[in-house]
Chains A and B, each alone.
Chain A
């Protein structure tokens, strides 16, 4: 039963992608040229990936606070998994966005407030992942990473509100101040994109958390075995 839920989740995720990708490619109309024309179809996974980055960052934030209150391997592993998933989906956003921008704006990158704050946020989560990967498993390193995880979450709000606060090139179509999607099929494709990407986010957070918890348990078992070996007694 313990392994059945993730397998089921993985199967549903695969089905969701199997439906969402062809739907976005074949069933949605092409948007106006100013929005990138055919390249606008990147939107159906670009926006869900951005939300998945927020989810990863929020998981990291919650688990980091929990870890700072009481340090356990599970909480540390969840915070680390959240940061890793935020890095993955941030990379998806920052690679797909410029390709769309090339068609819509004529340039791959511009120091627009949304793009700049997104890059900054992504760099924060990269810093957490690099710190945890290379700085060891000590309590101080874990607490430091947790503190960055808490502070990094506030920057996600800056990314989210940057268009309203400072304007820039980045469009706001869905949500507050947006003009909405002009065709119901666009909304359906976006909904399917959200479903598929958020299911994938859940699967990956679960997978990485299990991985880090198992690593921590093994580390302790190795230390115990070393301490009880005849050479050390």
Chain B
């Protein structure tokens, strides 16, 4: 007796079982990768801290420039009492 041909193992559904339309659902399973979120969160935290430190050092550098120019102005200014006769 001849047996009926078996369906291919890879196809689990017939053409009638497949989706004929897409409908919107609310919620659903969260599929965002936790690994990606974790790494992004840590990178964001480090970025913020390092940016804060970098801004602080830039301000310190500006302060140093102001001190230098103040010192330079002090050197060019004539000594009190040492002016013209």
Contact = CB atoms under 8 A, between A and B. Distances in A.
B70 A96 contact: no
A84 B59 CA distance: 14
Interface residues of B, number: 27
Interface of B: 27, 30, 32, 34-35, 37-38, 40-42, 44-45, 48-49, 52-53, 56, 59-60, 63, 66-67, 70, 73-74, 77-78
Contacts, number: 78
Contacts of A39: 34, 37-38, 41
User: Interface of chain B, helix or strand or loop or mixed?
Assistant: helix
Contacts of A208: 56
Contacts of B44: 92, 95-96, 99
B42 to A, nearest CB: 7
Contacts of A100: 37, 41
User: Interface of chain A, helix or strand or loop or mixed?
Assistant: helix
Interface of A: 21, 36-39, 41-42, 45-46, 49, 84, 88, 91-92, 95-96, 99-100, 102-103, 106, 200, 204, 207-208, 211, 214-215, 218, 221-222, 225, 229-230
B77 A229 contact: yes
Contact of A225 (B35, B42, B60, B74): B74
Contacts of B60: 211
* Most chain B CB inside 10 Å of its own CB: which residue of A99, A100, A204, A208: A99
A200 B46 CA distance: 12
* Most chain A CB inside 10 Å of its own CB: which residue of B42, B45, B73, B77: B45
